[in-house]
Amino acid sequence: MSGHPSTYEPKYAAAKWMDQRLPIIRMGADFMTFPSPRNLNYWYTFGGILALCLVVQILSGVILAMHYVADVDKAFASVQRIRRDVPFGWLLQSMHAVGASMFFLAVYMHMFRGLYYGSYKAPREVIWILGCAIYLAMMATAFLGYTLPWGQMSFWGATVITGFFGAVPVVGESLQQWLLGGYSVDNATLNRFFALHYLLPFVIAALVGLHVWALHHVGQNNPIGISAKTKEDTLSFHPFYTVKDAFAIAVFFVIFAIFLFYLPDALGHADNYIEADPMKTPPHIVPEWYFLPFYAILRAVPSKLFGILLMLGAIVVLFVLPWLDTHKVRSMRFRPIAKWFFIIFIVMCFILGWCGAGTPSDVAIPIGKGMTFYVLSQIATVYYFAYFLIILPVLGLVEKPLKRPDSITKAVLGEQKSDADLASA
Amino acid sequence: MSDNQPDDGSKRDFIFLATGAVAAAGGASLAWPLVAQMGKAADTLAAGSIEIDLSKIAEGQQLKMLWRGKPVFVRHRTAAEIEVAEAVELTELKDPEADVDRLIAGPSGAVNQKYLVMVGVCTHFGCVPVGEAGDFEGWYCPCHGSHYDTSGRIRKGPAPKNMVIPPYEYISDNVIKVG
Amino acid sequence: MAFMKLKTLIIGSVVAAASVAGLAFAAGGGGTGDYHMEHKDWSFNGAFGKYDRAAAQRGYQVYREVCSSCHQLKFLAFRHLGDKGAPFYLEDFPNPNDNPYVKNFAADWNVEDIDSDNGDTIERPGIPADYFPPIFPNDAAARASNGGALPPELSVIAKARTNGPDYIYNLMLAYSAHKPDDVELTPGLYYNPVMDGGKIAMAAPLSDGLVEYEAIEVEDHGKIKTIPAPEATVEQMSSDLVQFLAWSADPKMEQRKSTGLMTIIYLLILSLLLFLSYKRVWRNVKH
């Protein structure tokens, strides 16, 4: 699964025997010796962090499925039982719920990294598209999973999101009822959501396999965006990046642990501790924090169908990004104008998140008569799309890049030619 | 390429050993909750005992109660049944056990011979035997033909052991607590 | 250089995590009118906070004598009261089913059961394994008895409201607040500024001296300590109730926090070792 010539030599007879039949050890060994650019910074550790996040979610999820009951009358109580009576259930349930947030936190960091360093540009378009597919599958999984505890937010979140399908012209209502398996979110819905929530993570795992395969075929991008040319430009993945990733993972897990053990509910919503009640909607329905920017885009337009299309568009635009940003320089380190637009883009993403959490009619910024969240979310939505559809394509034509180093080694070592020079100096 | 490989001396470096050991210890302690969660939950443990009022069982009758997911037989034995159970020579038994050893003392201190309390599960493969049946007028397991006597001891057939006596105690003259 | 990058990473992660938490908190509400929510410094707040066991025991008394006439503790079993970390835990009774407090409390309630002789529905005294029984046979009956309002179950109420403990405490106290003229009450509704819109269907449940507190014996590291009975003011009863309901909603909190401390210390040591390993592996490589 790697694009570099194999250097693996079986040491033992048994290993040799296996290598001739199924070269799985060779695959692992080649993975570990994969030549990686020597200048990868900490932003490049999120891939490893995400792999571990997926493992944590699948492991804790399979365990929770042993105790969870997918039945509208018992689901909420079964979660309470997990938290109160199952040995270490409180830990595993919290780990899964907080883990979902951590997964998204890491994936956003990973995506912003890719956007900044131009990791979506040729020849890495397929890596990027697979990444977008993973993100989409993660969103679906998170949404399905959030329904399972059968709290008020679970129920009403599911009602609102499945309502999107009702906006499809002509077949909308039939489509929605087919998805729900009834007239509304009910037992049939809960059961299929549970089944799909269990299935999708394995789809994600498969997509991750392809994502990594594609990455190993073309090689990693790096902060200066200049491809590795010589052997000097690269380092063996192990031990250099295994140890760096491991360190980053440990630091990330400190943050994970702070939330898990001290703020387990900080990222959730109090209403989800109330059992689902189809007769009563909570006063403020808000999605989990990681969906808030999209929720703000949804609410930024007064039309239901157009809002949904816009929200979907916000994700679709990511898939076609490799063909929107036509600038031939990958890293924004050498793109003085794009860099600033990118920073504004990140700010706008946070503003969208903030708008998603607020009530549209409330005043967000006290200027003039007061700017409401509604207006603010419209401004941010316009910028979001403009960034991809106008700013990047135009900059691709007009932006003059800064002078770039010739190679990774030159960038790292400056005037010196090699490490040997450094040592002798 | 010296810079592409860590030097050999570092392989046994204390830092690496310590890191590996600490990481392994962490992994092992994380594994414990993942394994322990499959054990009995607190509600399962709490449902582990039941109380049975013996006064409701007439002589010659048997009460069947569910305890920890298995039937418990409480039989109010007739004088004849007790006599037969006591008369058997231990040498005739596959799993030698005197009738009196399969009973416990009531609040008065004397062994209460009338009430036989046992887990109604055949020791062969776990089927539930039928009462007042079989060659020894005790219990008969329809699955593979094991015969038990009036003390619940295996007398004939493939089962290896006598039916199990659950942990129980008299909490008053007429009430026992199983589990 | 590496330290600088590292610092950026950590600061970046913390800022991101904090903004995420900030977004989630942003939805939290206040109260209506000129009532100001009192934010108490609860014993269970903070990284090392614990429940006040004596207060939680009195809180159970308040629940039993006052709240339980309408509100169920749906997800709580009697045995939970005697679990480790619970208000009535006793070291001599690691199995809560044998705990004398638990047995007495259970027996104090009637639980519906089936007579195994004739299949009739009967009521028998509760046992530790039983869950707190419903107060009303069904939701419709509960609404009918309460002017159309459904009394919420209380076992997770402290988590089911934003800032639950403060919410419960203020809800109990805010009945005495002055009603603004623009809040119109129909019969069966009362003014309470903690509620959205200032209206509540529950009449003020507490009044000074409503329950009779007794001195409580609490086990503290194997020693028996006697906590004298405080005066049963509304404030006292409310904060006792909060201690009980906060425990009920989050019974594993103390275990969670102590496990967390160990885990974080462990992860910090591991991070340090991995960082040193990283420096060692990369020592001859400029990057």
Ordered by where they begin, the domains of chain A are: 31-221+233-285 (1.20.810.10), 293-407 (no CATH)
> CA A277 to CA A242: how far, in whole Å?
48
Amino acid at A278: P
> CA B118 to CA B71: how far, in whole Å?
9
User: Is B3 part of the contact surface with chain C (CB cutoff 8 Å)?
Assistant: yes
User: Is B16 part of the contact surface with chain C (CB cutoff 8 Å)?
Assistant: yes
In the residue annotation, B147 being an active-site residue is answered as no
Domains and CATH numbers, chain C: 37-76+132-276 (1.10.760.10)
């199990």: which residue's tokens?
Answer: B164
Give the start-end residues of each E strand in chain B: 50-53, 62-67, 70-76, 115-119, 130-131, 139-141, 146-148, 154-156, 168-170, 175-178
> CA C197 to CA B84: how far, in whole Å?
79
Interface test with C, best of B2, B49, B56, B62 (most C CBs within 10 A): B49
pLDDT confidence of B107, banded at 50, 70, 90? confident
Interchain pair C273, B15: CB under 8 A: yes
Tokens of A197: 């929530």
**pLDDT per position in chain C (287 positions), as tens?**
444 555 555 555 556 556 555 554 444 444 556 788 999 999 999 999 999 999 999 999 999 999 999 999 999 999 999 999 999 999 899 889 889 999 999 999 999 998 877 889 999 999 999 999 999 999 999 999 998 899 999 999 999 999 999 999 999 999 999 888 888 888 889 999 999 889 999 999 999 999 999 999 887 777 888 999 999 999 999 999 999 999 999 999 999 999 999 999 999 999 999 999 999 999 988 87
Q: Which residues contact C197 (CB under 8 A, 6 or more apart)?
A: C32, C183
Taking CA atoms, what residue in C is nearest to A351? Answer: C23
User: Is C268 part of the contact surface with chain A (CB cutoff 8 Å)?
Assistant: yes
Interface test with C, best of B11, B17, B19 (most C CBs within 10 A): B19
**pTM for this predicted structure:** 0.91
pLDDT at A337 over 80: yes
Question: Rounded mean pLDDT of B124-130?
Answer: 94
> CA A298 to CA A356: how far, in whole Å?
9
DSSP for residue C187: T
What topology does CATH give the domain B44-178? Rieske Iron-sulfur Protein (2.102.10)
Least Cα separation, residue A406 to chain C (angstroms): 16
Taking CA atoms, what residue in C is nearest to B7? Answer: C281
Interchain pair C270, B19: CB under 8 A: yes
What subunits touch chain C, counting only 3 or more CB pairs under 8 A? A, B
User: Is A63 part of the contact surface with chain B (CB cutoff 8 Å)?
Assistant: yes
pLDDT confidence of A1, banded at 50, 70, 90? very low
User: Is C174 part of the contact surface with chain A (CB cutoff 8 Å)?
Assistant: no
User: Is C20 part of the contact surface with chain A (CB cutoff 8 Å)?
Assistant: yes
Question: Rounded mean pLDDT of B40-54?
Answer: 85
**A333 CA to centre of own chain:** 23
Question: Rounded mean pLDDT of A149-168?
Answer: 94
Question: Rounded mean pLDDT of A312-325?
Answer: 97
Question: Rounded mean pLDDT of A392-404?
Answer: 96
Interchain pair B19, C277: CB under 8 A: yes
> CA C253 to CA C257: how far, in whole Å?
6
CB-based burial label for C217 (10 Å; 0-12, 13-18, 19+): exposed
Q: Computed from CA positions of residues A319, A321, A324, A327, in that sequence, does the dihedral angle turn out positive or negative?
A: negative
**Complex ipTM value:** 0.93
Interface test with C, best of A251, A260, A359, A416 (most C CBs within 10 A): A251
> CA A317 to CA A225: how far, in whole Å?
22
Question: Rounded mean pLDDT of A359-381?
Answer: 91
pLDDT at A421 over 80: no
Does residue B109 come out as left (phi exceeding 0), alpha (psi in the -120 to 50 range) or beta?
left
CB A167 within 8 A of CB A179: no
Amino acid at C125: P
Count B/C contacts: CB-CB distance under 8 Å: 49
Least Cα separation, residue C77 to chain A (angstroms): 10
Give me the DSSP letters along C65-114.
HTGGGT---TT-BGGGGGSTTSTT--TT-SSGGG-HHHHHHHHTSEEEEE
Q: In the prediction, which pLDDT does C26 show?
A: 44
Q: Percentage of chain B surpassing pLDDT 70?
A: 93
Question: Rounded mean pLDDT of A26-53?
Answer: 96
What subunits touch chain B, counting only 3 or more CB pairs under 8 A? A, C
- Give me the helices (H) in A280-391, please: 292-299, 304-319, 321-324, 336-357, 373-386
Residues of chain C with Cβ-Cβ distance to B7 below 8 Å are: 284
CB C38 within 8 A of CB C167: no
pLDDT at A181 over 70: yes
CB A317 within 8 A of CB A367: no
Radius of gyration of chain B (CA): 27
Least Cα separation, residue A260 to chain C (angstroms): 8
Closest CA to B151 of B141, B165, B167: B165
Q: In the prediction, which pLDDT does C8 show?
A: 58
Residues of chain B with Cβ-Cβ distance to A257 below 8 Å are: none
Pairing of strands B139-141, B146-148: antiparallel
Residues of chain C with Cβ-Cβ distance to A254 below 8 Å are: 264, 267-268, 271
Q: Percentage of chain A surpassing pLDDT 90?
A: 89
User: Is B1 part of the contact surface with chain C (CB cutoff 8 Å)?
Assistant: no
Q: In the prediction, which pLDDT does C220 show?
A: 75
Residues of chain C with Cβ-Cβ distance to B13 below 8 Å are: 280
């329904």: which residue's tokens?
Answer: A147
Q: In the prediction, which pLDDT does A370 show?
A: 86
Interchain pair C9, A38: CB under 8 A: no
Angle at alpha carbon of residue B149, lines to B145 and B155, rounded to 5°: 55
Question: Rounded mean pLDDT of A114-118?
Answer: 97
**B11 CA to centre of own chain:** 53
Give the three-state DSSP class for C185. coil
pLDDT at A301 over 90: yes
pLDDT at B115 over 50: yes
Q: Which of C6, C20, C256 lies nearest to residue A42, judging by beta carbons?
A: C6
Interface test with A, best of B37, B40, B45 (most A CBs within 10 A): B37
Give the three-state DSSP class for A226. coil
Taking CA atoms, what residue in C is nearest to B19? Answer: C273
Q: Tell whether omega for the bond before C152 is within 30 degrees of 0, i.e. cis.
A: no
Q: Which of A88, A236, A420 lies nearest to residue B33, judging by beta carbons?
A: A88
pLDDT confidence of B179, banded at 50, 70, 90? confident
> CA C267 to CA B27: how far, in whole Å?
11
> CA C257 to CA A22: how far, in whole Å?
48
Interchain pair C284, B43: CB under 8 A: no
Q: Which of C77, C270, C280 lies nearest to residue B23, judging by beta carbons?
A: C270
Phi and psi at residue C152, to the nearest 5°: -65, 150
Interchain pair A350, C19: CB under 8 A: yes
Give the three-state DSSP class for A274. coil
Q: Which one from B76, B124, B144, B147 is the annotated catalytic residue?
A: B144
